[in-house]
Amino acid sequence: MNSSIALKAENVNKIYLQGNKQIQALKDISLEVKTGEIFGLLGPNGAGKSTFINILAGTVNKTAGTLNVWGFDLDKNPRQVRASLGIVPQEINVDPFFSPRKLLEIQAGLYGVREKDRITDEILKITNLADKANAYTRSLSGGMKRRLLVAKAMVHQPPILILDEPTAGVDVDLRRKLLDSVKELNKQGVTIIYTTHYLKEASDICDRIAIINKGKLVALNYTKELLKNNSDLEEVFIGLTNKDNE
Ligand code: ADP
Ligand code: MG
C-alpha cells in the first residue's frame, strides 16, 4: 500500500439485523485517509459514522468490504490494526475513582507499553490535564473527561487518532481546548479522523471532509473545494438531513 495512505476502506457494508428487520448502516463506503491529515467524517445522526468507527475499533463486525489501516488488513491483522489506532469513543466511560495519571498508567499497562516507554506526562500536557493529573476523575468537567479519553487513546502512541463526535455536550470554551489538543497532536504528526455532525466544526479543523448520509458516501473533497463548490454547504447539508426525515 502507498505509504502516504493511512487508512483505506473499500466497499465497506454493514447490515444490522434487528429481529427480522435489516438495517443497512453502511453502503459500499470506499475512501482513503492520507497520512498526516485531519480527515472529517461528517453526517447527520444515524448516518453511520459510529458504525464505521466501531468496525475499526473491533466492536462491530462489517458485513462486507475491506479495511486497511497503516498497511494492515483488518481481517488478517486485527492486532496490528488495533495498535495503529487510538479511538475516542462517542460515549464517555471513565472510572471516576482513579486519577487521570492512574488511568493512563492502567491503559498503558493494558497495551503492554513498558514503563520506560511511557509518555504519561507529555500526554497530560498536550491534553491540557497536567494540573488535574492527580485529581479524582469524577471531579473533572465534561470537557476534561473528554480530553482524558483523548489522552487514554494516545498511551500507545498510535499514528492514527479517531474521535467520534468528541464535542457533543461540551461547552464552547472546553470545545476550543479540545480542538486545540487535536490540532497539537496533528502538528506532532498524528493522522486524525474526526467525526461530527457539525459542519462548522468540520470545516474549521479538517483538511478534507467526507459527507455520509444514510450509510452512503455523498461527497469527499478538500474542505476548501467543498466550500467553494457549494457556496453554502450548510444548505446542502441541511438538505441531506431533511431528506433523511422524509
Ligand atoms: P451515527 O453515528 O452517524 O449517528 P450510527 O452508526 O450510530 O450513526 O447508526 C447508523 C444506523 O445504524 C442507524 O440507523 C442506527 O439506528 C443503526 N444502528 C446502529 N447501531 C445499531 C445496532 N447495534 N443495532 C441495530 N441498528 C443499529
Ligand atoms: Mg454516532
Distance 136 CA to ligand 2 centre (A): 28
In terms of DSSP bridges, do strands 21-34 and 5-18 run parallel, antiparallel, or are they unpaired? antiparallel
Specify whether 99 is located in the same domain as 152: yes
Same domain, 228 and 201: yes
Q: What CATH number is associated with residue 221?
A: 3.40.50.300
Residue nearest to atom 25 of ligand 1 (CA): 16
* 82-129: pLDDT as tens digits: 999 999 988 877 888 899 999 999 999 999 999 999 999 999 998 889
Ligand 1, residue 164: give the atom nearest the CA.
Answer: 2
Distance 58 CA to ligand 2 centre (A): 15
Number of domains in the chain: 2
Q: Is the CB of 64 under 6 A from ligand 1?
A: no
Q: Are residues 17 and 78 in the same domain?
A: yes
Domain co-membership, 48 together with 1: yes
Cα angle vertex 70, ends 69, 75, to 5°?
40
Mean pLDDT of 133-157: 90
Quick check: is 57 in a domain? yes
Residues 71 and 117 in one domain: no
Q: Which amino acid type is present at position 230? A: N
- Residue 154 CA to residue 162 CA, distance in Å, equals 10
Give distance in angstroms: CA of 49 to centre of ligand 2: 5
**Spatial CB neighbours of 164, under 8 Å, sequence gap ≥ 6:** 49, 50, 53, 87, 88, 89, 90, 195
Amino acid at position 181, single letter: S
Alpha-carbon separation of residue 147 from 46, 94, 95, 122, 123 (angstroms): 24, 11, 14, 13, 10
Ligand nearest to the CA of 165: 2
Q: Is residue 175 part of a domain?
A: no
Q: Tell me, yes or no, whether 25 and 53 share the same domain.
A: yes
**Nearest CA among 3, 6, 1, 2 for reference residue 208:** 6
Q: What is the mean pLDDT of residues 18-25?
A: 94
**Domain for residue 225, yes or no?**
yes
Does residue 113 fall inside a structural domain?
yes
Give, for ligand 1, the residue of 16, 26, 63 to mutate: max count of ligand atoms closer than 8 Å to Cβ.
16
Q: In terms of pLDDT, which residue wins out, 222 or 229?
A: 222
**What pLDDT does residue 161 have?**
96
Q: Do residues 70 and 93 both lie within one domain?
A: no
In a domain, 185, yes or no: no
Q: What is the pLDDT of residues 173-224, one digit of tens each?
A: 778 888 888 999 999 999 999 999 888 889 999 999 999 999 999 999 999 9
Q: How far is CA 37 from CA 66, 111, 190, 223, in A?
A: 21, 25, 8, 12
The verdict on residue 195 lying in a domain is yes
Mean pLDDT for all residues in the chain = 90
Give, using CA atoms, the residue closest to atom 12 of ligand 1: 25
Residues 78 and 196 grouped into a single domain? yes
pLDDT of residue 244: 45
Q: Are residues 1 and 79 in the same domain?
A: yes
Whether residues 110 and 135 share a domain: the answer is yes
Domain that holds residue 124: 85-157
- Please check whether residue 129 lies inside any domain of the structure: yes
pTM: 0.90
CB of 46 closer than 6 angstroms to any ligand 1 atom: yes
The answer to whether residue 30 sits within a structural domain is yes
Query: What's the residue count for the chain?
Result: 246
Ligand approaching nearest to the C-alpha of 19: 1
For the CA of 14, the nearest atom of ligand 1: 12
Find out whether the beta carbon of 213 lies less than 6 Å from any atom of ligand 1. no
Q: Which three cell numbers stand for residue 210?
A: 467526507
Ligand 1 atom closest to 18 (CA): 25
When pLDDT is cut at 50, 70 and 90, the band that residue 166 belongs to is confident
Judgement on whether residues 80 and 92 belong to the same structural domain of the protein: no
